[in-house]
């Protein structure tokens, strides 16, 4: 039986690869996508998500639009967009054709609450974006946390930062929401931070291989990842020349191939007050805190296995 999942996205180039992987992999069933303010304004996230699903022939997967801004900080992450950091990795509109598909009338938070209230089978929740929608669901429905069997979060970092020296973008963009999610008491949280995603680099040669597959998904993935490689070569050179992490797709892929990541069970909390450290995932790697571990944190990833997973998934037509 395919594993059911909901992707919470701020589509973006790597979100788009995660969406295509979840929509096309035979062992996954993408129940729906919820969108949130992040890489680009939420209306662009929604439009990009609809375009990508239509492009791969999966316009049947519903898209629900969520929060247009963080829970508490009205100015996040505008400074990032104003600094054009986001634009370098995530154009407002992805290079796939426009679509006649439209978002659902139901909002993302209502969809999340109702779906888990009525679910008869396990559905993994995979947020690969700022956690505003998830925190809003927690605030609106106290039973939500008990109803979600598993959360796989792309976000956070221990030894790295990408939006500040101390923080990763998804957590930084709505730190209060992230703090709520890690403290909520979910039964099973897997965190896929930058420490893991930067060990699963996809190269320009992989993009050439993807493009040669000739399917809409493979060629779109080659374009999205190729865009990221140009940005990384210019602003964040990787250990492997002409390569990029595809953060969100690794998180989604770990659901169908858990061996892609190597995890440690640790306590994670989120800094919301520090001037230099706001949005930092404080990962208690040496058990110095008083808190029991609350999630499985990935510190390593299988780059070859990840590339092979993408090739296999995108070789097939929808
Ligand atoms: C995360 O930030 C976004 O730019 C990506 O989509 C990913 O979810 C990586 O820090
Ligand atoms: Ca994302």
Q: What is the pLDDT of residues 82-122, one digit of tens each?
A: 555 556 778 889 999 999 999 999 999 999 999 999 999 99
| Ligand 1 atom, smallest distance to 197 CA | 9
Ligand 1 center to residue 120 CA distance, Å?
31
Domain range for 199? 3-314
**Tokens standing for 66?**
């969520």
Over residues 12-51, the pLDDT tens digits come to: 999 999 999 999 999 999 999 999 999 999 999 999 999 9
pTM: 0.97
Q: List the residue whose alpha carbon is closest to atom 4 of ligand 1.
A: 39
State pLDDT tens for residues 200-247: 999 999 999 999 999 999 999 999 999 999 999 988 889 999 999 999
Q: What's the gap in Å between 247 CA and the centre of ligand 1? A: 6
CATH code at 210? 3.90.245.10
Number of domains in the chain: 1
């Amino acid at each position: 039986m395919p594993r059911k999942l909901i992707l919470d996205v701020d589509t973006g180039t790597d979100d788009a690869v995660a969406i295509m992987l979840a929509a096309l992999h035979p062992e996954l069933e993408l129940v729906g996508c919820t969108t949130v303010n992040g890489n680009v304004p939420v209306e662009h996230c929604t439009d990009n998500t609809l375009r990508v699903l239509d492009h791969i022939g999966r316009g049947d997967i519903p898209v629900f639009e969520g929060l247009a801004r963080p829970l508490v900080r009205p100015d996040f992450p505008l400074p990032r967009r104003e600094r054009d950091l986001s634009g370098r990795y995530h154009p407002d509109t992805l290079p796939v054709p426009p679509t006649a598909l439209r978002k659902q009338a139901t909002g993302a938070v209502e969809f999340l609450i109702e779906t888990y209230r009525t679910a008869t089978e396990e559905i993994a929740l995979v947020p690969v974006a700022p956690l505003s929608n998830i925190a809003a669901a927690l605030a609106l429905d106290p039973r939500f946390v008990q109803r979600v069997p598993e959360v796989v979060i792309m976000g956070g970092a221990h030894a790295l930062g990408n939006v500040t020296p101390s923080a990763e973008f998804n957590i930084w963009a709505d730190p209060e929401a992230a703090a709520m999610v890690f403290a909520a008491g979910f039964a099973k949280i897997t965190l896929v931070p930058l420490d893991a995603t930067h060990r699963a680099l996809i190269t320009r040669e992989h993009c050439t291989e993807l493009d040669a597959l000739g399917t809409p998904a493979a060629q779109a993935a080659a374009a999205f990842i190729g865009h990221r490689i140009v940005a990384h070569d210019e602003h964040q050179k990787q250990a492997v020349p002409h390569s990029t992490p595809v953060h969100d797709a690794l998180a989604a892929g770990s659901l169908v191939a858990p061996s892609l990541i190597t995890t440690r069970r640790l306590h994670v909390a989120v800094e919301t007050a520090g001037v230099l450290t706001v949005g930092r995932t404080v990962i208690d790697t040496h058990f110095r805190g008083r808190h029991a571990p609350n999630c499985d944190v990935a510190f390593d990833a299988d780059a070859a296995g990840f590339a092979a997973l993408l090739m296999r998934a995108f070789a097939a037509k929808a």
